[in-house]
Structure 1
Protein backbone atom coordinates (compact mmCIF):
# COMPACT_ATOMS: atom_id res chain seq x y z
CA UNK A 1 0.00 0.00 0.00
CA UNK A 2 1.29 3.48 -0.87
CA UNK A 3 0.43 6.47 1.28
CA UNK A 4 0.25 10.09 0.14
CA UNK A 5 -0.12 12.96 2.59
CA UNK A 6 -1.47 16.37 1.60
CA UNK A 7 -0.41 19.43 3.58
CA UNK A 8 -2.24 22.74 3.30
CA UNK A 9 0.22 25.54 4.02
CA UNK A 10 0.04 29.31 4.44
CA UNK A 11 3.10 31.30 5.53
CA UNK A 12 4.81 28.26 7.05
CA UNK A 13 8.40 28.92 5.94
CA UNK A 14 9.65 28.39 9.51
CA UNK A 15 8.03 24.95 9.82
CA UNK A 16 7.53 23.36 6.41
CA UNK A 17 11.05 21.93 5.94
CA UNK A 18 11.05 20.04 9.24
CA UNK A 19 7.51 18.79 8.67
CA UNK A 20 8.40 17.45 5.22
CA UNK A 21 11.58 15.82 6.56
CA UNK A 22 9.62 13.99 9.26
CA UNK A 23 6.84 12.92 6.90
CA UNK A 24 9.31 11.49 4.35
CA UNK A 25 10.14 8.83 6.93
CA UNK A 26 6.56 7.54 7.14
CA UNK A 27 4.96 8.14 3.74
CA UNK A 28 5.56 7.48 0.06
CA UNK A 29 4.71 10.94 -1.25
CA UNK A 30 3.81 14.40 0.01
CA UNK A 31 1.72 17.06 -1.69
CA UNK A 32 2.04 20.61 -0.35
CA UNK A 33 -0.74 23.00 -1.29
CA UNK A 34 0.48 26.56 -0.71
CA UNK A 35 -2.47 28.92 -0.36
CA UNK A 36 -0.80 32.10 -1.64
CA UNK A 37 1.81 32.52 1.08
CA UNK A 38 3.66 35.83 1.17
CA UNK A 39 6.80 34.20 2.55
CA UNK A 40 9.13 31.51 1.13
CA UNK A 41 6.86 28.53 1.87
CA UNK A 42 6.46 27.48 -1.77
CA UNK A 43 10.20 27.81 -2.50
CA UNK A 44 11.16 25.72 0.51
CA UNK A 45 8.59 23.00 -0.11
Structure 2
Protein backbone atom coordinates (compact mmCIF):
# COMPACT_ATOMS: atom_id res chain seq x y z
CA UNK A 1 0.00 0.00 0.00
CA UNK A 2 0.88 3.64 -0.21
CA UNK A 3 0.63 6.16 2.60
CA UNK A 4 -1.24 9.23 1.43
CA UNK A 5 -2.51 12.33 3.16
CA UNK A 6 -5.70 13.88 1.84
CA UNK A 7 -6.75 17.39 2.89
CA UNK A 8 -10.31 16.66 4.04
CA UNK A 9 -11.49 20.28 3.96
CA UNK A 10 -11.07 20.65 0.18
CA UNK A 11 -14.24 21.93 -1.49
CA UNK A 12 -13.79 19.41 -4.33
CA UNK A 13 -14.24 16.47 -1.95
CA UNK A 14 -17.96 15.80 -1.57
CA UNK A 15 -18.01 12.66 0.58
CA UNK A 16 -15.75 9.95 1.98
CA UNK A 17 -16.70 6.28 1.78
CA UNK A 18 -14.97 3.54 3.79
CA UNK A 19 -14.56 0.38 1.69
CA UNK A 20 -12.34 -1.69 3.97
CA UNK A 21 -11.60 -1.72 7.68
CA UNK A 22 -8.44 -3.42 8.91
CA UNK A 23 -8.39 -5.24 12.23
CA UNK A 24 -5.28 -4.26 14.21
CA UNK A 25 -4.57 -4.44 17.91
CA UNK A 26 -2.65 -1.16 18.20
CA UNK A 27 -3.72 2.45 17.95
CA UNK A 28 -0.65 3.48 15.94
CA UNK A 29 0.49 1.14 13.18
CA UNK A 30 3.80 2.79 12.30
CA UNK A 31 5.55 -0.59 12.67
CA UNK A 32 4.02 -1.63 9.31
CA UNK A 33 6.44 0.65 7.47
CA UNK A 34 9.30 -1.77 8.17
CA UNK A 35 7.44 -4.98 7.23
CA UNK A 36 7.38 -6.51 3.75
CA UNK A 37 5.53 -9.36 2.07
CA UNK A 38 3.04 -11.47 3.98
CA UNK A 39 4.12 -9.97 7.30
CA UNK A 40 2.70 -6.61 6.23
CA UNK A 41 -0.84 -7.93 5.78
CA UNK A 42 -3.75 -6.75 7.91
CA UNK A 43 -6.85 -8.85 8.48
CA UNK A 44 -9.65 -7.03 6.72
CA UNK A 45 -13.29 -6.59 7.62
CA UNK A 46 -15.26 -5.72 4.48
CA UNK A 47 -18.61 -3.98 4.54
TM over 0.5: no
TM-score in terms of structure 1 length = 0.26
Which protein has the bigger strand share?
A: 1
- Higher Cα Rg, which structure: 2
Which protein has the bigger helix share?
A: 1
